Structures are given as C-alpha cells and as structure tokens.
Amino acid sequence: MPIPVETFQLDPAHPGTLQRQLQELVTAGILSGRLRPGDRMPSTRGLARHLGISRITVTLAYTELVAGDYLTARGRSGYFVSETAPQPPVFPDPPEPVPSQVDWTRAIGQRFPEAPVLSRPEDWRRYRYPFIYGQTDPRLFDHSSWRRCALQALGARDFEVLTADSYGRDDPQLLDQITRQILPRRGIRAEPGQVLVTMGAQNALWIVAQILLTQRRNAVMEHPCYPALREVLHLSRCNTAAVEVDAQGLPPDAVPAGTDVLFVTPSHHCPTSATMPLERRRALLERAERDDFIVVEDDYEFELAFAASPAPALKSLDTGGRVVYIGSFAKSLFPGLRLGYMVAPEPLIREARTLRSLILRHVPGHTQRAAAYFLAQGHYDAQVQKMARAYRDRRSVTEAAIAEHGLSLAGASNFGGSSFWMRAPDGVRSDELAARLRERQVLIEPAGAFFGPGRDPGTHYRLAYSSIASPDIPEGIRRIAEAGAEMR
Amino acid sequence: MPIPVETFQLDPAHPGTLQRQLQELVTAGILSGRLRPGDRMPSTRGLARHLGISRITVTLAYTELVAGDYLTARGRSGYFVSETAPQPPVFPDPPEPVPSQVDWTRAIGQRFPEAPVLSRPEDWRRYRYPFIYGQTDPRLFDHSSWRRCALQALGARDFEVLTADSYGRDDPQLLDQITRQILPRRGIRAEPGQVLVTMGAQNALWIVAQILLTQRRNAVMEHPCYPALREVLHLSRCNTAAVEVDAQGLPPDAVPAGTDVLFVTPSHHCPTSATMPLERRRALLERAERDDFIVVEDDYEFELAFAASPAPALKSLDTGGRVVYIGSFAKSLFPGLRLGYMVAPEPLIREARTLRSLILRHVPGHTQRAAAYFLAQGHYDAQVQKMARAYRDRRSVTEAAIAEHGLSLAGASNFGGSSFWMRAPDGVRSDELAARLRERQVLIEPAGAFFGPGRDPGTHYRLAYSSIASPDIPEGIRRIAEAGAEMR
C-alpha cells in the first residue's frame, strides 16, 4: 500500500535536525503498527515538496532507515517498509495501572528522609545574578576539547573499554593519570592498588561510611557540615558527634575521645571556606595517631587554589597510613560526569572495590577513558588554569563590592575556592533574604541545610562566584545590600 | 632557551595518533618543569624532520597547544612555551608511601567478601571459541549509531544535561522512552514517577534490598541463583532462604511461609534459562497476595525473545501493585554502559530515589541522554532485531551440534535468550572441563558460583552463544565433547 505524504507532518518545536525528525516519524509509524511491512514510502521528491525541506534531507533519512532495516530500497521502484522491519511491541495497549494494594508503610523496612538540599530554581541559568555554587560555567568549560576526548573514547580502539562489564576493575589509563598527574600535586604518592574510582565524591563518602562504621562506632563530622554527609552517617546508624569549626577549620583538641572515624575538609571547610593551617593539620594527625582513629579527608575543590599555594593535603602528611583521601572531578571537569576517587591503604581499597562492585559494578568505561584522555592531553591543566584565572578576577571583584556595600563576610578560603561565606544583616533571615532577591534576578544560597535539622540559626548564606560573570557581580552585590537594608 | 629537537622522541607503542602523542610530550614536559615558560620550541619544519612525520602534524599539534595556552606563537619568531602555561605540580616529588600503621582488621567494621564470579580470562576475545555470556559482540552492536547518538548528546544543546548535578532527578527524555517504548512491550504501563533510572540491574537490586530488607525480614531467592544477588541479600543481614527451581522455574508452592520479599527471574531463570509458564505466574502472584509479600522481578534479558513470543512480565499481571520490576540495557545496548531501571509504586520509588541520590546522585547525564536518542531514533529496535536474528541462527546451530555430539542439555529458555544450561559428563567436574578446554581455545563457564558457597555440585556449566560466530560453533562443541569424553 502506498503511504500518502500527508502521513508525515513536521513539528517545529522538535529539538533535533529535520533528518532526525523524519527518521523518528518513520520508525514511530512502523513500531506503532501504522506503517506495515511492504508499504511503499512516498518518493523522496514528493515528501520533500510536501514537508518543504530539501530532497537530500529526505534521501539521507531514508538511507539511515535502510541501514536500520526499517526500509528497503527496490531499485527504481523506490522505498518500502522492510518485510523484516523491527516489530511493533507485543502489547500495544497495556492495562491501566492500578493503585498498589500493598501497605508500603509496613513493607518499607528502611526509610531515607530526603537530605535538606540548597534551594535552587531549576532554571537558575535564566537569572541575571546567579551566585550559585558548584555548577558548570559554559564560558569557562572547554567543552570542545571534552567533546573531542569523549569522541576519541567512542572509537573502535576503545570498544572493549566502552562496552565491557569490567566488574571490580577500573580503567588503568585513568588510574595512571590520577596517580601520576593529580595526586602528586597534592603531595600524595599512591600505587594504582591504593586508588578506587567512584561515582563522584558522594559515592566515595557512602562507600567509606559503609565499611568503617557500624552501630557501635563513633563518627565525628564538622559543624556546620556538608548536608549529604550528615545523611550518609545517619543512615549508617553509628553514633555521631559534630565539632564546631572556627576560622581555622576544625580544632583538633575538640575531637571527642572514643572517635573511630573523623570526616574533615581541611583545604577549605565546607561551607565556611576556612583553611586549616599546617600546624593544625599536624596536630590533628598526631591526635588521630594517639587515639587511633581514621581520618577521611574530603579535598573537594583543591584545584581552585589561585590566591595562594594550597597547604599540602592531610594525606601527604599522613605517616601513619590512617587518612582516607577523597577527590572529585566535579569542579575541574563537571558535576554531571559523576567522577571521583578515593585513596587509601590497600586493605580498605580492597573492601571498597568489592562493595562498589555489588552496588553498581563500576563507573561507565566511557566516562573513565574520556577523562583519562582529557588529562593525558593536557586539557585538564589548561582548564583548571583558565578557571583559576577567571575565579581570581571574580573573587576580587566580589570582595571589593562586598566591602563597598558593607555586606558581612563571615568566612573565606585564604587560597581561593569559588564562594564566600556570608552573614545576613542582623534580624534578617537568610532564607527570607534569598526569597526576596529571587524576585530581583539575584540568587544566593541560604545555608540552613549545612546546620542540620532544627539547628539552622537562619543567619548565613553562601555567595558563589563560579557561575556569574565579573561585570555582573557589582550590581548583584548592590541588590543584595539593598534588599538586606530594606528588611532590617 | 631554545629547546633542542632531541628532547622529543616518539614511542612506536603509543596508542594515539602522532599529533596527540606530540601534544602529550609537550604538555608532560611543561608540567614536569623540564620545559619552562619562555623556552623556544623547535620549528615545525625542524621537529617534523627529526621525528620523521609530516610538518602539518606538528603544526596541528602546536595549534592545539596554543589553544590550551601551553604555547604561544610569536609571529615569525616561532613558538614558545607560554609565560602563563599551566604550572608544574606544586609537589613534584612526594615522599615514598609508608606502610599503614593502622590495624585494618579492627578498623574495618564491615567486610565484603568478594562474590564468586564466573571465571573468564581478561583476554577472552583472543580465544577462538568463546562460549562467553553477557559481553558485547562487535559484529552485532551498532557502534556507529551509538557513536552518533553519544556525539549528539555532547552537543551545545545538551550542555545542561551533560554537566549539571541533577541530584535525584532523571533525564525526562529517557524516562519518556522507557515508559512509552520499552515497558509497553512487556505489557507494563507506568508513569514517569514510577520509574527510577539506575546504574544497571545490579544497582537496582542493591537499592531494593536496602529499602525492603532489615535484620528481621525474610528474603527468598531461587536456587541456583545469580551470585551477586546472593551477596546483596547476605549483606542486608536479613534471613534468607533459597527455593529449588525446576524446568518451569520457581514453584510457587515452595515459597516458605513468612516470606517478606521474593527475588525471581520468571522470563528465563538465571542460570538454567527455564521459563515460568503463565499459570505459574498467576499462581505466584496469588500466593504473594495471600501471604502479602513483595516480588522483585529481574527481567534481565527480555529483548532476546526470538524463538517465541515472550510470556508477559509478571509486573503486567500484577493487579495488587506488589511487583518491583527491574530492567537493564546491558544486553540490548552494552554492559559497560551501566544503565538499568526499576518500576514500582511511587512510595517505593520515592525512597529509592532518595537512597540513590545519597549513594551516587544520578546516572551520568550523558549516558542517559545518549540512550534516549538511541531509543528515539529507532536504533534500539533495529539493534535488538539484528541481535535476535543472529542469536536465533546461533542457537539452532548450537542445538544441532549439541545433539550431534551428544552433550547433555540441562535447560533452555523456550523463547530465546543467549545461553544453554549444560550438564558435564558423569564424573567430570565442570571447572576441570573448563580448564582443559581453555588450553584448546574453548571457553565455557563452569557454574559453581550460581550454587553458592559449599553447594557447588560441580556438575553444570553455562554455554552462551552471544559472542561466538555461527561458523565457529560446531567445532567448539566438538572440542567440548572430545575433552569431556577424554576425562570420563
């Protein structure tokens, strides 16, 4: 049966190319059973005229469809739906779903309360003054080099890396880059057997907590603290305590006796950005040695040390082999990549590798290899350098505007980073300030989530400059000051 | 200082292009501090001559290096190491790692014994007769369409999907494809809020077990059983029981009283390939309804139903809303993708989403969007169809050879799949048979891991035809028969 040209209508809102859209129309028609094996397709000329597109576009779409065996070409007679075209689904119209009869309140054995997250509108990029933390700035990210590396990792040479289930193994090329290129600049020397590749730092924290903590163990975190870590510890059902940080980060003397595992962010504390000085790092390690506890160091943003040389990682001072080091490519590459790593003595990495393989097997091979190429070809360094330069500029513009408009700075890393820790004006709640600013095209991050349930003093917010261009910063800060003054 | 051409030596074993290798040599030189800011690079002509490569290759490498700010071009004077080139690491020579002083036997709170895995040499592709399960056959996988879809998902239009940390959210385009294209062919109707995207089926099993099981709950699995599931249940510390399967899969009457959660593979049992008939499926659901337990259905290979129409999924018959359905793209796309999904009533999906976001946040945005394109453009159907055709052929060739050489078939799906379940000759251990065959270029999978610790009767092996070409099958089977006869 000849298929009339009117069967096909283009949708101007379709996100893809015309060729792709036409392919999708044909495959959808065949898979839904509307177009049947043996049906004759409209001629390329006729369909092009009907749709108002070029004939070559139709020919290319048809050629692709022949390759997928949706269509066959019969010489001069034109194109037909293939006799062996993919079949329509066996059950074209499944029954209406019924409401579940199960009492899920009873059936669910363990509940996972949603971690309080920083409120951020999904369309934050549309705001004029986004002081938003941890997302990628397209003006700074070297997207084209990433694309080239990712494409390279899609090649025939890497077919096995791309496709194979590699169980507990990691990509040796990525391990090589991490141990030879990344870790040395943190003063850390590690063998590949002391490194595990993870789905970002979050995954590394989860895995470490599962292994080191039990109901009888004592974990210590900083206060305030990265909210997802608090949830991870809570779920491990261990005992937890929180130690108040000061302007130099966590004070080693305040770590309670009986601590089994301490989670700490010495490079710059999350969220206050305080940097722990070298003497304190040494004192902390001595304390850990004396009390025999494990230290988990989340070195989440070390690449952005543009203002001063970063202090060496705690792990680099770790003569007792008791520091578990966690790193991430979320800032230097991008957070959607979900790529991080953990460095620790072999006995711990062995357990972590087995657990990771039960949870998810491994990080997709393509992700690992593309990152390995990006590192090996020097794009990573160029990228970090470009970001550092831009951040240095943004930071000084922000600092000047903060001073000019009299905002209250509550903390900052002394060597860089991507945000300031701010105090709202007296008597103004930071979440209310944020709500008012949102109406004025300004996004700031009220910091309640960092303090934990019931402990938010309502006083602080985070002001990040990683996603806002320098020229927009002064006006953004001016608006923050203006809104704050109105609300006092 | 001019850098002598002899600084650069090509390595014939380097896996990349000449241009890429040259770039890596220069960036490594700069990052190690050997080449310094202001140093003059050899001329393109001189370096090309020295390395015996074309001048255009050197020029292209230099141009790339300029883009990354490793080099600068100074008109006619040539190329120099940029004054603002990425810095060498701060700690060029970290101290030797010291052996850890920690007593890890004590520090590790929970151990994760390695799941027994099927033994498979890493270089299995080099074997002539690889009867190996679950890996990708490059002759069947539409690598070029995948590459195109992946490249599309690397484009500027998908920048946000690629880069953003999307916390608990999944790619709406992938959810749309799963609910509208994939699930209907299993008779399942689901809203996007009833679907969670996971890092493969393994990740879905892990998450479900964490939520539904506690130390007081009773989980039931099949015997024999997918080894990683046994480990997942073991680690949840619930009580476990195993029900012996027969030629029709799991007998519903044998499910013990007091069961809370049953894990089952009805489409074809793993590993025996037995298909559960429709009446048994209904009886199993009635039983679940009566005893109020949850059924987790792992529908791990449903796409490969080429021999007969597959029975509808258990989930499609589930009027009580008590089936959790787990699907995977490991077979239809490739296992290294780590992409799967879970379908269940909203209360369970909500918990699963929160837990997943604590464990790893989300599946990388690029993975999700590339798969969504592959599905939307009809490549998935073409792919599955192509595989099904090849497998049908390989299956019948294998079946004929098994009959001809008198091997003992112990089980097979009645509608397709990718393997046979085999019994070794009387008195011959399957692992010893496998070891002998390996020396003869034949790989089979002895099935001990499926029976669990201490319960391997040593009698069975799996014979998969997903990675071996039809013409090689008869000789492979002949060698299996020959080795078996020698060993009796």
Per residue in A456-470, pLDDT (tens digit) is: 899 999 999 999 999
- Separation of alpha carbons B322 and B343, rounded Å: 11
Answer left, alpha or beta for residue A339, where phi above 0 means left and psi between -120 and 50 means alpha: beta
Percent of residues, chain A, with pLDDT higher than 90: 69
Where residue A94 falls among pLDDT bands split at 50, 70, 90? low
Q: Say whether B364 and A337 touch across the interface (CB within 8 A).
A: yes
Give residue-wise pLDDT tens across range B82-138: 988 887 665 556 666 668 888 988 888 888 777 666 668 888 999 999 999 999 999
Of the candidates B90, B358, B362, the beta carbon closest to that of A115 is on B358
For residue B89, the model assigns a pLDDT of 60
> Nearest residue on chain A to B82, judged by CA atoms?
A382
Q: Say whether B361 and A187 touch across the interface (CB within 8 A).
A: no
Q: Say whether A23 and B377 touch across the interface (CB within 8 A).
A: yes
For residue A312, the model assigns a pLDDT of 83
Tokens of B375: 């599905």
Interface test with A, best of B91, B237, B261 (most A CBs within 10 A): B91
Tokens of B467: 């990675």
Chain B residues close to A418, C-beta within 8 Å: none
**pLDDT above 70 for A393:** yes
For residue B24, the model assigns a pLDDT of 86
Q: Say whether B351 and A115 touch across the interface (CB within 8 A).
A: no
Q: Quick one: B143 exposed, middle or buried, by C-beta within 10 A (0-12, 13-18, 19+)?
A: middle
B106 Cα to chain A: minimum distance (Å): 10
Tokens of A287: 């304390």
**Exposed e or buried b for every residue in B99-121, given b needs 16+ CB within 10 A?**
ebebebeebbbeebeebbebebe
Give residue-wise pLDDT tens across range A146-164: 999 999 999 999 999 999 9
Query: Beta strands A445-446 and B71-73: pairing type?
Result: unpaired
Chain B residues close to A62, C-beta within 8 Å: none
Q: How far is CA A469 from the centre of its chain?
A: 21
> Nearest residue on chain A to B153, judged by CA atoms?
A147
Q: Say whether B289 and A101 touch across the interface (CB within 8 A).
A: yes
Q: Say whether B206 and A150 touch across the interface (CB within 8 A).
A: no
Query: Measured at the alpha carbon of residue B129, what is the angle toward residues B123 and B132, in degrees to the nearest 5?
Result: 65
Chain B residues close to A159, C-beta within 8 Å: 136, 138, 143
- Tell the residue number behind the tokens 């070794």, with chain if given: B424
**Exposed e or buried b for every residue in B52-73, given b needs 16+ CB within 10 A?**
ebeeebbbbbbebbeebbbbbe
Of the candidates A30, A316, A364, the beta carbon closest to that of B338 is on A364
| Range from A299-313, A338-352, B219-233 carrying the lowest mean pLDDT | A299-313
A246 Cα to chain B: minimum distance (Å): 27
Q: Quick one: B447 exposed, middle or buried, by C-beta within 10 A (0-12, 13-18, 19+)?
A: buried
A239 DSSP β-pair partners: A218
Q: Say whether A90 and B211 touch across the interface (CB within 8 A).
A: no
Of the candidates B99, B309, B386, the beta carbon closest to that of A90 is on B309
Q: Say whether B151 and A146 touch across the interface (CB within 8 A).
A: no
> Nearest residue on chain A to B27, judged by CA atoms?
A378
Q: Say whether B15 and A156 touch across the interface (CB within 8 A).
A: no
E runs forming strands in A190-339: 195-198, 218-223, 239-244, 261-264, 294-298, 323-328
Chain B residues close to A87, C-beta within 8 Å: 381, 385
> Nearest residue on chain A to B388, judged by CA atoms?
A86
Chain B residues close to A100, C-beta within 8 Å: 320-322, 345, 347
Query: Beta strands B408-411 and B419-423: pairing type?
Result: antiparallel
ipTM for this prediction: 0.88
Of the candidates B93, B334, B381, the beta carbon closest to that of A163 is on B334
Q: Say whether B322 and A147 touch across the interface (CB within 8 A).
A: no
Q: Say whether A358 and B167 touch across the interface (CB within 8 A).
A: no
Of the candidates A214, A232, A382, the beta carbon closest to that of B68 is on A382
- Tell the residue number behind the tokens 């722990």, with chain if given: A276
Q: Is residue B391 a contact partner of residue B304, using CB atoms and an 8 Å limit?
A: yes
Of the candidates A111, A200, A260, the beta carbon closest to that of B360 is on A200
**pLDDT above 90 for A113:** no
Closest CA to A232 of A296, A328, A314, A322: A296
Chain B residues close to A20, C-beta within 8 Å: 377
Closest CA to B345 of A412, A446, A369, A99: A99
Chain B residues close to A358, C-beta within 8 Å: 112, 115, 202, 206, 228, 231-232, 235
> Nearest residue on chain A to B24, judged by CA atoms?
A377
Query: What's the mean pLDDT in A223-237?
Result: 93
Residues of chain B with pLDDT under 70: 88-98, 115-119
> Nearest residue on chain B to A229, judged by CA atoms?
B358
Phi/psi at A197 (nearest 5 deg)? Answer: -85, 135
A177 Cα to chain B: minimum distance (Å): 11
B424 Cα to chain A: minimum distance (Å): 27
- CA-to-CA dists, residue A234 to A265, A426, B208, B289, angstroms: 19, 33, 19, 34
Domains of chain B: 5-81 (1.10.10.10), 124-134+382-487 (3.90.1150.10), 143-376 (3.40.640.10)
Chain B residues close to A354, C-beta within 8 Å: 112-115
3-state secondary structure at position B178? helix
- Separation of alpha carbons B27 and B35, rounded Å: 9
Question: Is the alpha carbon torsion for B391, B392, B395, B400 positive or negative?
Answer: negative
- Separation of alpha carbons B236 and B215, rounded Å: 7
B92 Cα to chain A: minimum distance (Å): 6
Tokens of A481: 């000051």
- Separation of alpha carbons B213 and A372, rounded Å: 39
Of the candidates B65, B143, B312, the beta carbon closest to that of A159 is on B143
A463 Cα to chain B: minimum distance (Å): 18
**pLDDT above 80 for A308:** no
B274 Cα to chain A: minimum distance (Å): 21
Query: Beta strands A419-423 and A460-464: pairing type?
Result: antiparallel
Query: Measured at the alpha carbon of residue A256, what is the angle toward residues A254 and A257, in degrees to the nearest 5?
Result: 130
Q: Say whether A163 and B135 touch across the interface (CB within 8 A).
A: yes
**pLDDT above 80 for A118:** no
> Nearest residue on chain A to B288, judged by CA atoms?
A102
Of the candidates B28, B145, B358, the beta carbon closest to that of A112 is on B358
Cβ contacts below 8 Å, chain A against chain B, sum to 388
Q: Say whether B147 and A151 touch across the interface (CB within 8 A).
A: yes
Of the candidates A16, A138, A206, the beta carbon closest to that of B358 is on A206
